[in-house]
């Protein structure tokens, strides 16, 4: 009989683990109050928690969850999905196969390659996603977003990027087939400062001025159009920032 049990580890100080961990066919649960968590391999994935310290994992063979109050998160290859919640710290991952969910109050996110859906919510920080194969949803209050949708898919894909303050650069595949919905908000004092640039030859439309509380006036610049049959849906909405959409 093969009995699988979670392996739980707790520590109050610095922790460095490699092959010293027992070879168990079960997810790992590890918590520390201070200093770092460093692991060469997590064959079955697991959950990592730290109040103050960095987390570094080289190879993960199952779904991984990490919760950090203060510290950077770094991973090599993750197979099975990734979930990271961080109050403060940068998040860097080489490759993820599976869904990604990241929520952070402060810190940059850099995911080099994702084969799966991406959902990111940041209060402050830049996002870099140079290779995403599936749905991509990104929200930032303050920070730039650079992303690329790769591959031809075959099924409908959704890209939804929104920033309150931050430029967006999105790269699409050469055979992109989808609907574009791009828009930015400008005020009377920022007319001509921000732009929508795209490679598809679509016209930039200008909306009417609207008056809000305290007499502030805003209007929308937007681009809406369909390329091919409109299979994929790409939405990029920003305030007081630039939008650039390119393709191969």
Mean residue pLDDT of the chain comes to 91
Strand boundaries in 135-231, DSSP class E? 136-140, 145-149, 158-163, 168-172, 178-187, 196-198, 205-206, 210-211, 217-227
Q: Is 143 left (phi over 0), alpha (psi -120 to 50) or beta?
A: left
CA angle in degrees (0–180, nearest 5) for 73-52-68: 45
pLDDT in tens, 143-199: 999 999 998 767 899 999 999 999 999 999 999 999 999 999 999 999 999 999 999
Q: Are residues 55 and 66 in contact, defined by beta-carbon separation less than 8 angstroms? A: yes
Residues of the chain short of pLDDT 70, as ranges, are: 1-25, 153
Q: Which of 80, 72, 31 is nearest to 54 (CA)?
A: 72
The pLDDT value given to residue 3: 29
Q: What is the Cβ-side half-sphere exposure of residue 161, based on CA atoms within 13 angstroms? A: 33
The pLDDT value given to residue 19: 42
Q: Is 123 left (phi over 0), alpha (psi -120 to 50) or beta?
A: alpha
The pLDDT value given to residue 157: 97
């Amino acid at each position: 009989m093969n009995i699988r049990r979670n392996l739980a580890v707790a520590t109050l100080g610095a922790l460095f683990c490699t092959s010293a961990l027992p070879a168990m066919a079960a997810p790992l649960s590890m918590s520390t109050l201070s200093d770092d968590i460093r692991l060469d391999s997590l064959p079955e994935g697991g959950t990592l928690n730290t109040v103050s310290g960095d987390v570094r994992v080289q190879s993960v063979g199952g779904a991984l969850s990490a919760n950090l109050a203060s510290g950077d998160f770094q991973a090599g290859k993750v197979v099975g999905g990734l979930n990271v919640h961080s109050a403060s710290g940068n998040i860097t991952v080489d490759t993820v196969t599976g869904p990604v969910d990241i929520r952070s109050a402060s810190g940059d996110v850099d995911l080099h390659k994702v084969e799966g859906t991406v959902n990111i919510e940041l209060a402050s920080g830049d996002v870099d996603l140079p290779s995403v194969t599936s749905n991509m949803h990104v929200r930032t209050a303050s920070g730039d977003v650079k992303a690329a949708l790769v591959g031809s898919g075959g099924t409908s894909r959704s890209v939804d990027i929104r920033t309150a303050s931050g430029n967006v650069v999105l790269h699409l595949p050469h055979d992109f087939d989808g609907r574009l919905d791009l828009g930015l908000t400008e005020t009377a004092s920022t007319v001509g400062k921000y732009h929508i640039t795209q490679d598809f030859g679509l016209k930039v439309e200008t909306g009417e001025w609207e008056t809000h509380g305290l007499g502030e006036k805003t209007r929308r610049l937007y681009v809406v159009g369909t390329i091919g049959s409109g299979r994929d849906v790409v939405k990029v909405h920003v305030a007081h920032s630039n939008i650039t959409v390119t393709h191969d």
